[in-house]
Homo-oligomer: A and B are copies of this chain.
């Protein structure tokens, strides 16, 4: 980040007046450019006890299996974004229940937050979108655990298979910590067992 988006003057990285953190600030018009975490939203789509996974057609983790998810866009709610991504990546329509919010992940090392919603597939009409090579339903014993693209996906799947033993699905929040691009720990932070 070198130039002001409003006046094209140079940016300096300094603490603005009244702030306590350094930001990119324009030396001419004083505009401050804040940088904040982004949200990734997705679904855990269920049909007849099986889970829908997508084989990634793009990097990172091309060829690995994931849940449909992507960056939340301006103008949409987290659930709307999750449903959109499910349509884009898996061509799938979903039914949303009253307790759809399921897992949240803080990834402070990469400035992201993930939210997954537990939803039901409306039918078996699904097909790979442009970012997927394949889309497939997996029973628990069929899950390709060693080929799962991201720890947030693995933890969401593990939570689901554990929780469905009791048919109780608390909302769980985890912190995921990275070191040199590798996940070093996933810690349960909040779980509303009621």
Q: Chain A contact residues (Cβ within 8 angstroms of B): what range? A: 35 or more
In the bound complex, CA of A6 to CA of B78 (Å): 30
A98 at the interface (CB under 8 A from B): yes
A183 at the interface (CB under 8 A from B): no
Q: Please, which residue of chain B has its CB at the minimum distance from the CB of A71?
A: B36
Q: Report the stretch among A105-113, A134-142, A144-152 that lies at the interface.
A: A105-113
Question: Which chain A residues (25-65) contact chain B, with CB distance < 8 Å?
Answer: 33-39
What's the least CB distance linking A178 to chain B, in Å?
A: 12
In the bound complex, CA of A192 to CA of B102 (Å): 9
A4-B3, A108-B76 known; A171 and B192 CB under 8 Å? Answer: yes
Beta-carbon contact of B99 and A101 below 8 Å: no
| Residues of chain B contacted by A190 (CB below 8 angstroms) | 79, 98-101, 117
In the bound complex, CA of A29 to CA of B142 (Å): 45
**Residue in contact with A171 in the complex, picked from B6, B98, B171, CB distance below 8 Å:** B171
From A33, A71, A73, A190, residue with most partner B Cβ within 10 Å? A190
In the bound complex, CA of A76 to CA of B75 (Å): 24
In the bound complex, CA of A8 to CA of B7 (Å): 9
A193 at the interface (CB under 8 A from B): yes
A169 at the interface (CB under 8 A from B): yes
A122 at the interface (CB under 8 A from B): no
A153 at the interface (CB under 8 A from B): no
In the bound complex, CA of A173 to CA of B101 (Å): 8
Q: Which 7 A-B pairs have the closest CB atoms?
A: A77-B106, A171-B171, A3-B8, A101-B190, A99-B192, A8-B8, A74-B111
Pairs A–B under 8 Å by Cβ, sample size 14: A2-B8, A3-B4, A3-B6, A36-B73, A76-B108, A77-B175, A80-B108, A98-B190, A99-B193, A101-B171, A101-B190, A169-B194, A171-B171, A194-B194
